[in-house]
């Protein structure tokens, strides 16, 4: 049976950590849609295009070739950008780029194709509401902004990216605000999504809970 699992939620709620592990344990393909918006933002910055200039960013569409490799390596126009898309500069600008309708339509088409005929776990902001409204399982993963900032801070330090906790908190709040207030496919919880507050849960607990929900759903489908 082909299963689709959508995981949405605010910035740094741990969606990709959970989605990757759930996909690994279930043998599904993991698709990181945030990485795609980050790729477009990186390309704009590299070309000296102002990410706040919608028309200029849109001109990049014919030049965008994104390849997501199975081991979570991301190629943009033939170059491994897995680390380059995680910088502070990209994080600071990605929500502007992600608010442009033409950019979203272009990436959503790729996302829907990737989800065809194969079991997937896809994480993002609009997966359950817009990209895959018929997903078998919809999770809305949240955590307090303090917890999310702490997690991203730790993650950055481990990667050798220097940063301050206060700055990260500010960045997450700014992105969440723009992501939830844009007019096209904003960050929001689908009516039929199950909310999981991960503030006081371990990674393993969240993964087990999502897998339990997926198995329940499969049993329901199979009758």
Residues that bind ligand CDP (CB under 6 A): 11-12, 16, 33-35, 37-38, 94-95, 98, 124-127, 175, 179
CA distances from 31 to 10, 98, 120 (A): 17, 17, 7
- How far apart are alpha carbons 14 and 138 in whole angstroms? 15
The 8-class DSSP code of residue 50 comes to -
| Region of 123 on the Ramachandran plot (φ > 0 left; ψ -120 to 50 alpha; else beta) | beta
- How far apart are alpha carbons 137 and 192 in whole angstroms? 9
Which pairing describes strands 29-32 and 4-8: parallel, antiparallel, or unpaired? unpaired
Three-class SS string for 149-171? HHHHHHHHHHCCCCCCHHHHHHH
Coil, strand or helix: which one is 75? Answer: strand
Residue among 28 and 37 whose Cβ is closer to ligand CDP = 37
| Chain length of the chain | 223
SS3 content of the chain, % helix, strand, coil (to 5): 50, 15, 35
Angle at 118 between CA 211 and CA 43, to 5 degrees: 95
């Amino acid at each position: 049976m082909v299963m689709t699992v959508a995981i949405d939620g605010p910035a740094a709620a741990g969606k990709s950590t959970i989605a990757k592990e759930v996909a690994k344990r279930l043998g599904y393909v993991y698709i990181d849609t945030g990485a795609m918006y980050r790729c477009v933002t990186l390309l704009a910055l590299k070309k000296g295009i102002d990410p706040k200039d919608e028309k200029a960013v849109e001109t990049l569409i014919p030049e965008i070739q994104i390849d997501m490799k199975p081991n979570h390596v991301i190629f943009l126009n033939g170059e491994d950008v897995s680390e380059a898309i995680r910088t502070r500069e990209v994080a600071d600008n990605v929500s502007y780029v992600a608010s442009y309708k033409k950019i979203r339509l272009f990436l959503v088409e790729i996302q829907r194709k990737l989800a065809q005929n194969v079991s997937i776990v896809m994480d993002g902001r609009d997966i359950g509401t817009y990209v895959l409204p018929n997903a078998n399982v919809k999770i809305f993963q949240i955590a307090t902004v303090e917890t999310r900032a702490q997690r991203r801070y730790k993650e950055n330090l481990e990667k050798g990216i220097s940063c301050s906790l206060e700055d990260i908190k500010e960045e997450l709040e700014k992105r969440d605000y723009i992501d939830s207030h844009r007019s096209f496919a904003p960050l929001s919880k689908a009516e039929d999504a199950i909310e999981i507050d991960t503030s006081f849960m371990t990674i393993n607990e969240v993964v087990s809970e999502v897998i339990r929900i997926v198995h329940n759903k499969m049993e329901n489908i199979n009758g």
